[in-house]
A and B are shown apart, each in its own frame.
Chain A
Amino acid sequence: DAKTTQPTSMDCAEGRAANLPCNHSTISGNEYVYWYRQIHSQGPQYIIHGLKNNETNEMASLIITEDRKSSTLILPHATLRDTAVYYCIVRLFYGQNFVFGPGTRLSVLP
């Protein structure tokens, strides 16, 4: 079973920041938070991952709360092409499989 809770859907205006929350209140000390997204009829695309520090790459930023019980994925300037299902996944340890929950369906509106 997925160990995360995400809103079912969200809307965001094009050009604005999209902030996608994820609750993982039962996360343990050696578990990482991963984010993937899946555009319709494509395979999931890796976005970012982190353990406890905030992370940033060319796609997004990941903000993890100090108690690590929740995190937020930030797409700084959402475009129509960012419309997708976003999955927040917590992994127990190195090599464990990824368990996908239902994710958040983000719709970027013009």
Chain B
Amino acid sequence: GAVVSQHPSWVICKSGTSVKIECRSLDFQATTMFWYRQFPKQSLMLMATSNEGSKATYEQGVEKDKFLINHASLTLSTLTVTSAHPEDSSFYICSARDDGTGGTDTQYFGPGTRLTVL
């Protein structure tokens, strides 16, 4: 299957600092990537849809000025958590859509980035 990588796999930062997370599709091009957040013992929640060359679309309740998304190429999307606070501590997961044939498509997920804000 298609491979999606994330970097870093974990990060610890101080409150008030910014953290950038990278998501890369390694063996396919992705015009659309997605960013999810997962709190302990909960399911994945979609934060935003990242489209190559255009602005991201954010889900209701997600602050676009706090979670900056850039999708500058067909294989790279970045999520920057600005002025991070302890409540932003979570598991952040990206996915990339592989446009398939036969009337449907499939998303492949990265391994996730665990963010801890002190």
Contacts and interface: CB of A to CB of B under 8 A. Distances in A.
Interface of A: 32, 34, 36, 38, 41-46, 49, 51, 87, 91, 94-95, 97-103
A2 B68 CA distance: 27
Contact of B106 (A46, A99, A100, A101): A46
Contact of A101 (B4, B6, B43, B91): B43
Contacts of A51: 103-104
Contacts of A45: 109
Interface string B74-107: 0000000000000000010111010000011111
Given A34-B106, A98-B34, 12 more contacts: A32-B104, A41-B91, A42-B112, A44-B95, A44-B109, A46-B107, A94-B103, A94-B105, A95-B97, A98-B95, A99-B46, A101-B43
Contacts of A41: 91, 112, 114
A87 B91 CA distance: 18
6 contacts: A36-B109, A38-B44, A43-B111, A46-B109, A94-B103, A98-B46
Interface of B is mostly: strand
B1 interface: yes
Contact of B44 (A44, A46, A49, A95): A44
| Ranked 9 nearest A-B pairs via Cβ | A43-B109, A100-B44, A100-B43, A44-B109, A43-B112, A43-B93, A43-B111, A43-B110, A32-B104
B43 A102 contact: yes
Contacts of B107: 46, 98
B25 interface: no
Contacts of A99: 46
A32 B49 CA distance: 21
A100 B39 CA distance: 13
B104 A91 contact: yes
A42 B111 contact: yes
B28 interface: no
A43 B110 CA distance: 6
